[in-house]
Structure 1
Amino acid sequence: MASPAPEVFATEAAQTMVDDGNGGAPVHVEPELWGLAPFQIVSISMLVLLLFAFFGAKVHKSLGAGIDGKIAAIKDQLEEAKQLRAEAEALRQEYADKIAGAEKDAEAMLANAQHEADAILEKAEADSKAMVERRKRMAEDKIAAAEREAVEDVRNRAVNAATTASRKLIADKHDAEADKVLADQVIAGI
């Protein structure tokens, strides 16, 4: 058996070449995009690229200026933050110094209060000793006064008793003759 002969398939491009009158000779068909040839697409792309570069440069400048502005603002904020940090450090140091000074003042006040308390205690002891001495002297003076009054009272009672007894003795033992003798003695003594 004999093998059949290969079949030749007619393509559309081959039919186009035959129809265009090339007599079946191969013709190179250029690809097209939106009805434009490749050189036209390249020309339009270059024009778009040049327009983008021209206007994009201005956009780049405005974008750069905006970014530069942001950078400057951030630098300003960083400087301000540095200044605030320095101020905060200074305030922290100032308050640390104040706290240390307050602690020293508190220690000094405590020592001064202790000294004053000791002085007040010594003064109170001295005052109480002086008051005890004064009261002791006052008691001694009262006792001495009471003794003087008692002695005076005893003397007065003794004098009264002696006077009463001497009156009684004189009245009992002294009569008119004794008065006469006594009167003669007094007259003779003058």
Structure 2
Amino acid sequence: MQLAELWVAIAFVVFVAILLYAGVHRSIAGALDSRGTRIAAELDEARRLKEEAQKLVAEYKRKQREAEAEAESIVTAAKAEAERLAAETKAKLEDFIARRTRMAEDKIAQAESQAVA
């Protein structure tokens, strides 16, 4: 058994020596380097996209606040206009009722004077 283990160890050392001599370690290192470069580029792109997304979110939040403020001012203006129209309508109605009451009272007085005469 020990002899078999020795031959396996020798074969392994010879195999590794052949790989080193053939330059396999350079191609492996090159592949790892190119993969590292690609990963670094992808991380940079992800970082850039994240910053861009954060800017867009901030811009949309700003626009949302502006829209909410504009909506609030529109509602306030509409309420003020409704109150103004209600007051104007009430005044016109009161004036109309007063005129109709005077006309009715005048007709009653005229009818009474015609009835007495």
TM-score normalised to structure 2 length: 0.72
1:103 CA displacement: 2.3
Corresponding residue for 2:77? 112
Amino acid at match of 1:88: A
Q: Tell me, in whole angstroms, the C-alpha distance in 2 between the residues paired with 1:74 and 1:148.
A: 109
What are the equivalent positions in structure 2 for 1:22-171 lying under 5 Å apart? 49=17, 51-55=18-22, 57=23, 59-151=24-116, 154=117
CA offsets 1:75-118 (integer angstroms, 9 cap, x no match): 22212211221221112111210221122113212321221122
* 1:148, distance to aligned residue in structure 2 (A): 4.5
Instruction: Give, in whole Å, the separation in 2 of the partners of 1:129 and 1:53.
Output: 108
Change (3 A) 1:61 1:131: same
SS at match of 2:108: helix
Percent identity for Structure 1 against Structure 2: 38
Question: For residue 99 of structure 2, what is the amino acid of its counterpart?
Answer: R
The superposition leaves residues 102-148 of structure 1 with CA deviations (integer Å, 9 ceiling, x where unpaired) of: 22113212321221122022112212221212212321332243234
The amino acid across from 2:98 in the alignment is E
Distance 1:137 1:91 in 2: 68
- Residues in 2 aligned to 1:76 and 1:146: alpha-carbon distance in whole angstroms: 103
The number of aligned residues is 106
Higher CA-based Rg: 1
Q: Which runs of 5+ in 1 are unaligned?
A: 1-32, 34-40, 155-190
| One-letter identity of the residue aligned with 2:66 | G
The structure that is helix-richer by fraction is 2
CA displacement 1:51-94 (0-9 Å, x = unmatched): 33321x2x122212211221122122212211221221112111
User: 4+ runs of 1 displaced by more than 4 Å?
Assistant: none
- Going from structure 1 to structure 2, the CA distance change for 1:127 and 1:52 (only over 3 Å counts) comes to same
